[in-house]
Chain A
């Protein structure tokens, strides 16, 4: 598994990734649209967002999202 941008987020990422990869192969590819790793993603994402702000990548991301937004307005987020 690749590491996170935040050294302290890598463990949270590992937990989330392993949940996601299992879900992807066993559920998603077999037709399920119900996500299962939301709580782990939420925790991991919160950690990453702190680092992104620290490194001031959040502004660059916001710019990029203006041009091509993440298409999640109606679907189940994150």
Chain B
């Protein structure tokens, strides 16, 4: 198993970041994300926590040699569970690949939380555990290394993409605020 960890800060308040997160795709930096669907969604009336189950279809960009070896299809499916606690101002997303999971599993956890020292900022953490299954045991180490590298590259473009979405979202939010204060 190989681990990947990353911490980053966004200069936007948590409410905006968490709302923009629902509109992250499509963005031009992440063309590999093909479809996003909500499967289940529920609010806990006691805690106020919103839980969402989504299915995400991604275009696999694993190196051709690996795809050839394992005979995988180019479209892969990921299940994501997100938990949003509006009182703690924390969003936690966990995702795991549904397809090819017997060969390799990638369990990712992402959190967005209000910066305790500055409410105008949001702290982002990302971690992933990548494990190649026993079918690939002889090459597991190599495949895990390649996969972590891919994950790092994808994570970086993912952040760039989200940064763009956030910028657009902030402009929209500003527009609607000034529009509503104009009419008020």
Chain A: residues with CB nearer than 8 A to chain B?
1-5, 9, 13, 16-17, 20-21, 24-25, 28-29, 31, 33-35, 41, 44-45, 48, 52, 57, 60-61, 63-64, 68, 70-72, 74-78
Contact = CB atoms under 8 A, between A and B. Distances in A.
A28 B23 contact: no
Interface stretch (B33-41, B116-124, B145-153): B33-41
Contacts, number: 100
- The 3 residue pairs across chains A and B that have the minimum distance between CB atoms: A2-B25, A60-B98, A72-B42
A60 B15 CA distance: 33
Interface stretch (B51-59, B131-139, B154-162): B51-59
A76 B43 contact: yes
A31 B42 contact: no
Nearest to B33: A2
B19 A29 contact: yes
A37 B114 CA distance: 27
Interface string B19-39: 100110110000001111111
Instruction: Select the residue from A3, A13, A16, A63 with max chain B CB neighbours within 10 A.
Output: A3
30 contacts: A2-B36, A3-B26, A3-B35, A13-B37, A13-B38, A16-B38, A17-B22, A24-B22, A28-B86, A29-B15, A29-B18, A29-B19, A33-B48, A34-B43, A35-B43, A44-B38, A45-B39, A48-B38, A60-B101, A61-B39, A61-B79, A63-B98, A68-B94, A72-B40, A75-B51, A76-B42, A76-B45, A77-B40, A78-B40, A78-B42
Contact of B53 (A1, A33, A70): A70
A28 B25 contact: no
Contacts of A60: 77, 98-99, 101
A31 B38 contact: no
Contacts of A20: 22, 38, 41
